[in-house]
């Protein structure tokens, strides 16, 4: 299973950025346009679903850090940098990895 989570982490990074990077190339950092497009009802539905999922992943990772598993900071960074599509499979992958004594 852990290799599946690792593979899904790769897909979870490549797929969203394969859409986002061309948009950035075409529009640049046009925050007004991004917010305008994201605020349409169906887009807002998808964004709210992602935001709630991200909060859950961040909560799980933070809980692991509080338990002494400091390596889970990478899940927080990945979720913030890419999104749930990377953060969730990375979290699950790390759950299958034994903790190192250096944590």
Per-residue pLDDT tens digits for 10-29: 999 999 999 999 999 999 99
- Specify if 102 maps to a domain: no
- Specify if 7 maps to a domain: yes
- Specify if 100 maps to a domain: no
Q: Which stretches does DSSP call E strand in 1-95?
A: none
> Domain total for the chain?
1
The CA-atom distances, in angstroms, between 15 and each of 43, 58, 85 are 17, 21, 9
- Specify if 89 maps to a domain: yes
Q: What is the pTM of this model?
A: 0.84
- pLDDT at position 100, please? 62
Q: Is the pLDDT of residue 101 over 50?
A: no
- Specify if 101 maps to a domain: no
Left if phi > 0, otherwise alpha if psi is -120 to 50, otherwise beta: which for 46?
A: alpha
User: Which domain covers residue 85, as residue numbers?
Assistant: 2-95
- Specify if 103 maps to a domain: no
Per-residue pLDDT tens digits for 40-75: 889 989 999 999 999 999 999 999 999 999 999 999
């Amino acid at each position: 299973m852990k290799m599946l989570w690792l593979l899904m982490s790769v897909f979870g990074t490549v797929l969203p950025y394969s859409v986002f990077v061309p948009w950035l190339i075409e529009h640049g950092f046009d925050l007004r346009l991004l917010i305008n497009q994201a605020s349409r009802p169906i887009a807002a539905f998808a964004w709210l679903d992602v935001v709630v999922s991200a909060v859950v992943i961040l909560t799980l990772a933070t809980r692991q850090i509080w338990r002494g598993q400091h390596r889970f900071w990478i899940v927080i960074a990945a979720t913030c940098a890419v999104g749930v599509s990377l953060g969730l499979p990375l979290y699950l992958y790390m759950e299958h990895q034994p903790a190192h004594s250096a944590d």
